[in-house]
Amino acid sequence: LKFNNKNISFLFLFLTYVIVALSWEVYEYIRGVIVYSDMSKWIDSMMDFFYGLLGVLLFYFFKKKY
C-alpha cells in the first residue's frame, strides 16, 4: 500500500489502530465515561475495537485495490 509515496504495511496500520483504540478506552475509563462494573461495558469496548478493526481492514484493501 502506498500513501503519499510511502509504503505502508498492514502491520503498521493495525498496530497504529491498536495503540489509538487502547488509548481511547483508557481515556474513557480515566474520565469516568465508562465504568467496567457490568458486562455491557466490556461488550461496548470489544464492539468499538471490532468496528475499528473492520474500518482498518476496509481502508487497507480498498486503498490497495484502487
Specify whether the CB–CB gap between 1 and 7 falls below 8 A.
yes
Q: Which residue has the higher pLDDT, 37 or 64?
A: 64
State the pLDDT at residue 51. Answer: 94
What cell was used for 24?
481511547
The single residue listed with the C-alpha cell 487497507 is 60
Note the pLDDT tens digit of each residue in 12-54. Answer: 999 999 999 999 888 888 887 776 666 777 787 888 899 999 9
State the pLDDT at residue 35. Answer: 66
Specify whether the CB–CB gap between 48 and 25 falls below 8 A.
yes
State the pLDDT at residue 44. Answer: 79
Please give the model's pTM, rounded to 2 decimal places.
0.75
Identity at 12, one-letter amino acid code: F
